[in-house]
Structure 1
Amino acid sequence: MKLDSIKAIASAVLYEGYILYPYRPSSIKNRQRWTFGGVFPKGFDQQGDASLMETQVLLQGGELTAFHVHVRFLQVVRREVGQLTPPLQALPNDGNPALTFVASLDVDGRELLAWEEAIEREAALGPLRVADIQHGALVTPFRFEGARDVEFVRAQDGRIVAALIRTSHTIEGMIEVRALELAPDLWKLTVRIENVTPLSDPERQERAAAQLRAFASTHAILTVENGAFVSLLDPPDDLHEAAAQCRNVGVFPVLVGGQDSSAMLSSPIILYDHPAIAPESPGDLFDGTEIDEILTLRILAMTDAEKREMASVDARARALLERTHALTADDMARLHGVMRQGQSLTSRGDPLIAVKDREKPRLVSLLDSGRNLCVGARVRLRPKPGGDVMDIALKDKIAVVEAIERDFEDRVHVAVTLVDDPGRDLGAAGFPGHRFFFSQEEIEPIAAGEGP
């Protein structure tokens, strides 16, 4: 899989939590950002924030096997709003007009907000041969210089009325890579990322100041040539012990890139091997634990004032808002729900049945208490006591059996649609929300002509 495709997945991790619905700085949950993958300067230890991130993975290959390391993170940028009083037709010769800093400013309907943005950073190493680093670690320093950018804002009458000042600080880090041969053609790779940015005494005491010099959403992409990584989630039987000995601090390594083993993503967010972005998703919502359709509908339901504030957050939030408004009816329909093989049964309303053997056929009928239960039969729903609100709502309903399926543990699940559901045709087509799963013990076959 090409690195660009892997980075598309990694970028979803990079911007997870960047800004959350309702995408406004005034929202309480957006006042504490950069919560994933933080690597703070070593001198800051006021609240137990980590100053390093370490990942260990297993690699199969010979001494000539080579790999690449891409360390990626966000650097926080402070954005301030300066108001010019009075407005100016032109900048002074030195380009530094007098500014009054404010939390927000309205300029002809455009709201300027003081907040934080981010810059994507990357430090890359490789190709590195495992044989070259088995007797001593390779330590590579990196540094990104700070900058101050001033964007002057003109009103409709042409006068300069404000300035947006973006400030980033110089940050420094080190990447340490080493290899340990565990057995012939089996290596344990260690990648250690450390923030060595110096701090002044005041900066050591204030988390907000240290955050501006931290690495946020830090993760690493590892790719290999002439070798293969080993899954730490599902290692081969003979490598279980070696996988269990891998030490990971602040990250969870998973295989990425199709179904091969040539790349690994060490993510600060727990993922499964071979994560993928749903093809129906129109773009990043920065809120990956939510459902695209729900977030999209909520964005569309926001007031004009709320959308105006969202558009003022930054270019990414503004693009998200514009993209959401541009969705067509077909785009929205694609978000409504897709059935995929290879996932587990999650709930009555989102039944995705996983099977161990994809060639295993669906059942056509069951023998229940001497009575034959088949696809198309009518049944009465009898959910087990102690269920959730969905069980209460569906109790005693008359339904039609649409499918009889087996999960990865060979348990049988009966998929039904409700006779009185106006959207029953959607359930018959496999759409969640109109198709429900019950165990064989929770349904009661009924005779022809009984019920509605």
Structure 2
Amino acid sequence: MTSAAPAREDLFAHARQIADAVLLEGYVLYPYRASAAKNRMRWQFGVLVPPKWPGAASEHSLQRTECLLEPRGNPALHAQVRFLHAQRRTVQRARADGTYETVDALELPDRVVRPWDEGVTEQVDLAVEVSRLTGDGVRLPFALPVHEESEPLHDGGRLVGRQLRRRERVAGELHLTATELDGPCRVLRLTATVRNTGDWSGDGDADREAALPHALLSAHLLLGVTSGAFLSLTDPPQWASGAAATCRNAHTWPVLAGADGNARTVLSSPIILEDHPRIAPESPGALYDATEIDEILALRTAALTDEEKREARGTDDRAAAVIDLADSMPPEVLERLHGAVRALREVTGAAPPPASPRAAAAPPDPFDGGTGGAPWWDPAADAAVDPVRDRVLVDGTPVGAGSRVALRPGPRRTDAQDLFLHGRTAVVEAVLHDVDGGVHLAVTVDGDPGADIRREQGRFLYFQPDELAPLAAVEDT
């Protein structure tokens, strides 16, 4: 007896929470006003422009995702392309003669309306049997027509203006192929290419602002398999590490995104994520700025002046929702944002001996106790620890200050700055031990013009032993 294959909505229900955050990352930033300088340069992630536009050389017209799929039987693959379609909004004031004039702002009792590019969510779906993806694969072209609409603006019952909205034609294609790889298990390398196929060129002199209505914005891809599992490219099983290394991704990165750790769903995003990303359960709603924390944004937004809130409400429905969220957030919800404990670590062992009455009479001095005046967290407080002379075994080789190593940032590190250093060589400056027993190696990267300054200031890059590969043992100088 076999169970029914899960529907596409079931496959993507959990991943879409993360996909929505990717879709709207940076959509509108605090203070959520169209006139704010930081909201004038928009759409920084996943922008796929028409290939005939001359500026396409500085942007991209396609995304390429390659990942590994371990199918069971002949499952169906569900693919979902998601992006924003820029809807350009023009504001006009009504004249006494019944005509309209375009203006930079129109003040209403509850809001200030300005020109703005609204983001309309678009979605393209494809379901296909995996067996059909070999060879030339499957292509799904799609096109969105020009759309125009007008919305009257009233002050009380009096017509004072209107908003004109226009979406330009956007065309694209999803191309899916699969190649079976040699190995101990049946594994397919799945390739998914999302491209802008529009023919808009802008007459040769159009700038980025003119190209955006013809682009796919914040484009990303969801993939789900009804039977089988995707393999992590960040931390693949050892038997598949060679195959994972052959995958080539361009302008996007696939991560496992199934609920409860299952591997039937992948999110390929223009923003670097880790496998199985999650939305913090304390988050009360979208604030569109992942570089800040919700608590700070909520407090700052609530503290905006009434005039600033009027303009934010006129900027966009999403911006207006942020203002309403901040104004209506109860204290208990705000308190939850102040901090959260994600995990607890059990500490076992013999209890410390009871303090003598004399010792209890005065609090301990962190700069006392035979440490030579150093606080307890300073390496000088422990004679058994010496960052310059200590060594740690890496692949059986003692590594310490002066050793040369190759950098191999591991799956725990998803910061782009670390990933950019993959394969670079470096010199170990110190071996450091933290209070939890962890070991960290401070390094300076070969060819870094600021290495001498880093040494003088003691500002290094830090990696754990399993993120390094020794090149040669170098004696201390």
Verify same fold: TM over 0.5.
yes
Alignment of 1:173-212 (within 5 A): 173-183=172-182, 184-202=185-203, 205-212=206-213
Q: Per-residue displacement from partner, 1:353-384 (whole Å, max 9, x unpaired)?
A: 8xxxx7x64556689xxxxxxxxx95627243
Q: Per-residue displacement from partner, 1:183-237 (whole Å, max 9, x unpaired)?
A: 3520000000110111144366322111110001000001111110001111011
Match of 2:436 among 413, 418, 427: 413
Q: Compute the displacement of 1:131 (Å).
A: 1.8
Q: Normalization by structure 1: what TM-score?
A: 0.74
The residue identity in structure 2 corresponding to 1:79 is R
Q: Are 2:70 and 1:60 aligned?
A: yes
Provide the C-alpha distance between the structure 2 equivalents of 1:81 and 1:312, rounded to a whole number of angstroms: 11
Q: Per-residue displacement from partner, 1:255-279 (whole Å, max 9, x unpaired)?
A: 1122110101001111111111111
Contact preservation (8 Å) 1:63, 1:130: no
Provide the C-alpha distance between the structure 2 equivalents of 1:289 and 1:201, rounded to a whole number of angstroms: 34
RMSD of aligned C-alpha atoms?
A: 2.5
Provide the C-alpha distance between the structure 2 equivalents of 1:244 and 1:142, rounded to a whole number of angstroms: 32
Q: Compute the displacement of 1:163 (Å).
A: 0.5
Q: Name the residue aligned to 2:405.
A: none
Contact preservation (8 Å) 2:11, 2:224: no
Q: Compute the displacement of 1:138 (Å).
A: 1.0
Q: For the structure 1 residues 361 and 137, does the alpha-carbon distance in structure 2 shift closer, same or farther, using more than 3 Å as the test?
A: same
Q: Name the residue aligned to 2:158.
A: 159
Contact preservation (8 Å) 1:203, 1:210: no
Q: Name the residue aligned to 2:141.
A: 141
SS in 2 for 1:243: helix
Provide the C-alpha distance between the structure 1 equivalents of 2:152 and 2:365, rounded to a whole number of angstroms: 69
Q: Are 2:234 and 1:233 aligned?
A: yes
Provide the C-alpha distance between the structure 2 equivalents of 1:309 and 1:216, rounded to a whole number of angstroms: 25
Match of 1:319 among 311, 318, 321: 321
Provide the C-alpha distance between the structure 2 equivalents of 1:310 and 1:68, rounded to a whole number of angstroms: 38
Q: Name the residue aligned to 2:168.
A: 169
Q: Name the residue aligned to 2:366.
A: 380
Alignment of 1:177-326 (within 5 A): 177-183=176-182, 184-202=185-203, 205-257=206-258, 258-326=260-328
SS in 2 for 1:331: helix
Contact preservation (8 Å) 1:40, 1:214: yes
Provide the C-alpha distance between the structure 1 equivalents of 2:139 and 2:162, rounded to a whole number of angstroms: 41
Provide the C-alpha distance between the structure 2 equivalents of 1:203 and 1:167, rounded to a whole number of angstroms: 22
SS in 1 for 2:54: coil
SS in 2 for 1:380: coil
Q: Name the residue aligned to 1:5.
A: 14
Provide the C-alpha distance between the structure 2 equivalents of 1:364 and 1:150, rounded to a whole number of angstroms: 74
Contact preservation (8 Å) 1:34, 1:216: yes
Provide the C-alpha distance between the structure 1 equivalents of 2:112 and 2:331, rounded to a whole number of angstroms: 31
Alignment of 1:308-387 (within 5 A): 308-341=310-343, 361-362=347-348, 380=366, 382=375, 383-384=377-378
The residue identity in structure 1 corresponding to 2:145 is E
Match of 1:24 among 28, 33, 43: 33
Q: Are 2:92 and 1:82 aligned?
A: yes
Q: Name the residue aligned to 1:401.
A: none
Gaps of 5+ in 1: 88-96, 342-352, 368-376, 387-407, 415-452
Provide the C-alpha distance between the structure 1 equivalents of 2:150 and 2:39, rounded to a whole number of angstroms: 25
Q: For the structure 1 residues 35 and 302, does the alpha-carbon distance in structure 2 shift closer, same or farther, using more than 3 Å as the test?
A: same
Q: For the structure 1 residues 332 and 173, does the alpha-carbon distance in structure 2 shift closer, same or farther, using more than 3 Å as the test?
A: same
Provide the C-alpha distance between the structure 2 equivalents of 1:379 and 1:259, rounded to a whole number of angstroms: 47
Contact preservation (8 Å) 1:63, 1:129: no
The residue identity in structure 1 corresponding to 2:130 is V
The residue identity in structure 2 corresponding to 1:380 is P
Q: Name the residue aligned to 1:425.
A: none
Aligned length: 358
Contact preservation (8 Å) 2:111, 2:311: no
Q: Per-residue displacement from partner, 1:274-307 (whole Å, max 9, x unpaired)?
A: 1111111000110012111111111112222221
SS in 1 for 2:47: coil
Match of 1:72 among 70, 76, 82: 82
Q: For the structure 1 residues 364 and 324, does the alpha-carbon distance in structure 2 shift closer, same or farther, using more than 3 Å as the test?
A: farther
Q: Compute the displacement of 1:83 (Å).
A: 0.9
Provide the C-alpha distance between the structure 1 equivalents of 2:103 and 2:13, rounded to a whole number of angstroms: 40
Q: For the structure 1 residues 379 and 312, does the alpha-carbon distance in structure 2 shift closer, same or farther, using more than 3 Å as the test?
A: farther
Provide the C-alpha distance between the structure 1 equivalents of 2:240 and 2:34, rounded to a whole number of angstroms: 48
